[in-house]
Structure 1
Amino acid sequence: MKTHVSIESRPPEGHTPQWGMVIDLQKCVGCDSCTVACKAENRTPPGVNYNVVLEEEAGTYPNVRRVNIPRPCMQCDQPPCVGVCPVNATYKADNGVVIIDQDRCIGCRYCITACPYGARSFDFGETYADEMQGAEAITVPEWGAEHAERAGNKPPVGTVRKCTFCMHRTARGEEPACCETCIGDARYFGDLADPESLVSKLAADPRAFRLREEMGTQPRVYYLK
């Protein structure tokens, strides 16, 4: 039973949480359960993955080891994807999560090119219908909306998609699906604006770092070495 979920207690009235995530690389075993859980929760089509686990070799032969690096959307405080969107379809919500308005997105894919983390995917309309009976019969709650059909050019087909820290789950006091299913308890999620939250303390730990910090994107996903 996990004990590090900071959203189990509701924030004070009037307080807007600033969601962030910390991933302990020493605990990540590369099982890809986060990828599978995310795909099942968000019913993403073929070629669209909000969460992936990258692999990297560290050290010098013969002392070489494999490092697993889970990569959700970084929910940057200075997101390059927002500035390049010609129709303002991508924006940063009050809680710090970067959102895509599917009804506004025109599918130009500038944001995919601008994202330095490869965290965005284009929905080409592919489906698992041939492999799984009833694959298209399940509605998917994302961003507070029901996308019941994926036909023709109806959003999210023909638009860009990404991780939203499972906003439909956090809105009801639950943690993102990837955190809930992590078998190594490597993921911590909570309010970075609360100095007493575990995620805030871990983000300030000497072991903490962020990917490509030199680009000034100020990611809200921290890693522990």
Structure 2
Amino acid sequence: MARYGMALDYKNCINCKACEVACKEENGVLLGADKHRIWVGVNEIEGVWPNLSISSSSFLPSQCQQCDNAPCEEVCPTHATYYDENGVVRVDSDKCILCSYCMNACPYDARYVDDRTVTVDKCTFCSDTRLARGLTTTACQNTCPTKVRTFGDLDDPESEISILLKTRDHFSLKANLGTEPKLFYLT
């Protein structure tokens, strides 16, 4: 089995939203829905009105961080949140009672209520769609025109993501919390 992660070369992000649209299409989420599964945040706007600008490093793609030590999994009273065989944090909608403990425990604000199933949902690295069909990329990586995202097996030393993480400096969001996220931001 693999242990999946994603590296984000976030300085290449142009905020085109192609990743968000591809994710929503792949997972049947309404296109107008805000901040579901994945999103691109804007960090800062520089200058003084009316001379404002957004630098390319101001866009920060985000999603579930797929923590190895996930607070959302620890607090789930019904074990609806679980790790699958590839270490991906998933939600079993049949067990979810919508208590929102996981939503409150997630320090990345990566969970939301799916109106279709009336359960909590989140990014699954396309494990129940693309990976289940034998594909090796996520919808968001596959569609990104500037190649921001690199998805792969962290345990395979020859995988593209492993090589990137060995050769490029990177950081994880809120690493001080001990969640051990598997999203890595390349610097």
Do both proteins adopt the same fold according to a TM-score greater than 0.5, normalized to the shorter chain?
A: yes
Match for residue 222 of structure 1 among 165, 172, 184: 184
- 1:79 aligns with 70
TM-score w.r.t. the length of structure 2 is: 0.88
Deviation at 1:65, TM superposition (A): 3.0
State the alpha-carbon separation in 2 of the partners of residues 205 and 122 from structure 1: 38
Q: In the alignment, is the contact (CA less than 8 A) between 2:18 and 2:140 conserved in 1?
A: yes
The one-letter code matched in structure 1 to 2:41 is L
Deviation at 1:189, TM superposition (A): 0.7
- 1:28 aligns with 13
Report the 3-state secondary structure (helix = DSSP H, G, I; strand = E; otherwise coil) of the residue aligned with 1:78.
coil
State the alpha-carbon separation in 2 of the partners of residues 180 and 163 from structure 1: 15
State the alpha-carbon separation in 2 of the partners of residues 161 and 59 from structure 1: 34
- 2:55 aligns with 65
Are residues 84 and 196 of structure 1, via their aligned partners in 2, closer, same or farther at CA, if it must alter by over 3 Å?
same
Match for residue 173 of structure 1 among 112, 132, 135: 135
Match for residue 99 of structure 1 among 90, 101, 104: 90
Report the 3-state secondary structure (helix = DSSP H, G, I; strand = E; otherwise coil) of the residue aligned with 2:72.
helix
- 2:124 aligns with 164
State the alpha-carbon separation in 2 of the partners of residues 204 and 58 from structure 1: 32
Structure 1 residue 54 corresponds to structure 2 residue 41: yes
**Runs of 4+ off more than 6 Å:** 58-64
Structure 1 residue 184 corresponds to structure 2 residue 175: no
State the alpha-carbon separation in 1 of the partners of residues 34 and 160 from structure 2: 34
State the alpha-carbon separation in 2 of the partners of residues 68 and 47 from structure 1: 16
Report the 3-state secondary structure (helix = DSSP H, G, I; strand = E; otherwise coil) of the residue aligned with 1:35.
helix
How many percent of aligned residue pairs carry the same amino acid? 43
Report the 3-state secondary structure (helix = DSSP H, G, I; strand = E; otherwise coil) of the residue aligned with 1:75.
coil
Match for residue 165 of structure 2 among 188, 197, 203: 203
Are residues 64 and 161 of structure 1, via their aligned partners in 2, closer, same or farther at CA, if it must alter by over 3 Å?
closer
The one-letter code matched in structure 2 to 1:210 is S
Deviation at 1:198, TM superposition (A): 1.2
1:106-145 deviations in Å (ceiling 9; x for gaps) = 000110010011110012x3xxxxxxxxxxxxxxxxxxxx
Higher helix proportion (structure 1 or 2): 2
Report the 3-state secondary structure (helix = DSSP H, G, I; strand = E; otherwise coil) of the residue aligned with 1:223.
strand
1:78-111 deviations in Å (ceiling 9; x for gaps) = 0000011111110111201001000000000110
The one-letter code matched in structure 2 to 1:207 is D
Which is higher, the Rg of structure 1 or of structure 2? 1
- 2:107 aligns with 116
Report the 3-state secondary structure (helix = DSSP H, G, I; strand = E; otherwise coil) of the residue aligned with 1:74.
coil
1:160-191 deviations in Å (ceiling 9; x for gaps) = 01110011211212311100100101110111
Deviation at 1:207, TM superposition (A): 1.8
Structure 2 residues without counterparts, runs of 5 or longer: none
State the alpha-carbon separation in 2 of the partners of residues 183 and 212 from structure 1: 28
Deviation at 1:50, TM superposition (A): 0.5
